């Protein structure tokens, strides 16, 4: 098939301000493109992920799907990913997409059907897919911890998480430990390949762990200073403002164009389900991610009365136009 102009958007997902989240390329009409063509374009964009929108299959439409998305990194196709889910939904709506249900959008992807809801034109949340998880082998945890430069006593808990992509999660003793990480990239890539997971994420609470009491959260200015070696100045007992994060997150991906992901929706989704189920995390909290790579991502976690975890954040448009494919 000869190339033609197709509508295109680049959006910034989980962005607290312009150009501060995780960029996503969205080809709004992927019809007629082969998997190889999609993968080739995703490789060319050099973004963490590139999406292609298609009509849902007949069976998926009957089950409520509004559109279908295929998600590619620079190296492979993903069954599900968080920031592509929010970003592609935003682009679909901005192009004039009308969901079957006014307050609910349903995305078809290789992992299945994913529901989304919107509180405004730029604020979306997706329902975290069902999670499979297990305790990893001690040797695997030690291998990854060494590659990340962590001492054994810094790791409070670990879990292997699977919600489409497979992730490895480490809960650390402090946000300082998260922000201070300087991984050995070659050793980490080898460890992730050996484990067969797509990445490893680390997280820690600001202040004491949930349910333990103690002082309030540190300020965002301290957080940014610590990420770049600025020390520990500031009043740690001051009450947090609404944008102050409860949890600091970093995620390191295998075989990606960039070693550290600015903001990772799928990991935050599975992490939240694990932390709420087993570690006393509150039903609603704000996670921050990306300051170590110059981003300023915010991820809102909320568990509803039915136990469904929703993962949301703002989406900002960056580029609108056409692409020749």
Residues with catalytic roles = 49
Which residues lie closer than 8 Å to 31 by C-beta, 6 or more apart? 54, 55
> Quick count: other Cβ atoms within 10 Å of Cβ 77?
15
Q: Decide if 313 contacts 123 (C-beta within 8 A).
A: yes
Nearest Cα to Cα of residue 127 among 151, 111, 146, 150? 111
Phi-psi region for residue 294, left (φ > 0), alpha (ψ -120 to 50) or beta?
Answer: left
d(CA 268, CA 299): 8
d(CA 314, CA 86): 9
| Residue the block writes with tokens 């000869």 | 2
Dihedral sign for Cα atoms in the order 215, 219, 223, 228 = negative
| Residue the block writes with tokens 């990340």 | 148
Distance of CA 155 to the CA centre of its chain: 22
Alpha helices (runs of H) in 63-131, residue ranges in sequence order? 82-94
């Amino acid at each position: 098939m000869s190339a033609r102009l197709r509508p295109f958007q680049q959006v910034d997902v989980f962005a607290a301000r312009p150009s501060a989240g995780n960029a996503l390329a969205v080809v709004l009409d992927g019809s007629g493109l082969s998997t190889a063509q999609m993968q080739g374009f995703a490789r060319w964009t050099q973004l963490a992920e590139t999406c292609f929108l298609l009509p849902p299959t007949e069976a998926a439409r009957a089950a409520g799907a509004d559109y279908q998305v295929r998600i590619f990194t620079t190296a492979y196709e993903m069954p599900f990913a968080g920031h592509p889910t929010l970003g592609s939904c935003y682009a679909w709506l901005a192009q004039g997409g009308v969901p079957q249900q006014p307050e609910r959008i349903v995305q078809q992807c290789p992992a299945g059907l994913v529901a989304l809801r919107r509180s405004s034109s730029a604020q979306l949340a997706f329902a975290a897919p069902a999670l499979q998880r297990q305790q990893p082998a001690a040797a695997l945890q030690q291998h990854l911890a060494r590659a990340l430069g962590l001492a054994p006593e810094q790791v409070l808990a670990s879990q292997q998480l699977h919600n489409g992509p497979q992730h490895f999660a480490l809960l650390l003793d402090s946000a300082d430990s998260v922000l201070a990480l300087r991984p050995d990239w070659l050793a980490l890539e080898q460890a992730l390949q050996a484990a067969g997971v797509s990445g490893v994420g680390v997280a820690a609470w600001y202040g004491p762990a949930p349910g333990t009491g103690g002082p309030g959260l540190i300020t965002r200015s301290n957080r940014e200073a610590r990420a770049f070696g600025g020390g520990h100045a500031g009043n740690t007992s001051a009450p947090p403002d609404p944008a102050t994060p409860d949890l600091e997150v970093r995620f390191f991906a295998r075989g990606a164009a960039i070693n550290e992901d600015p903001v990772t929706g799928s990991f935050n989704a599975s992490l939240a389900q694990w932390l709420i189920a087993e570690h006393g995390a509150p039903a609603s909290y704000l996670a921050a991610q990306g300051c170590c790579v110059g981003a300023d991502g915010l991820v809102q976690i909320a568990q509803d009365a039915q136990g469904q975890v929703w993962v949301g954040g703002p989406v900002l448009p960056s580029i609108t136009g056409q692409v020749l494919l």
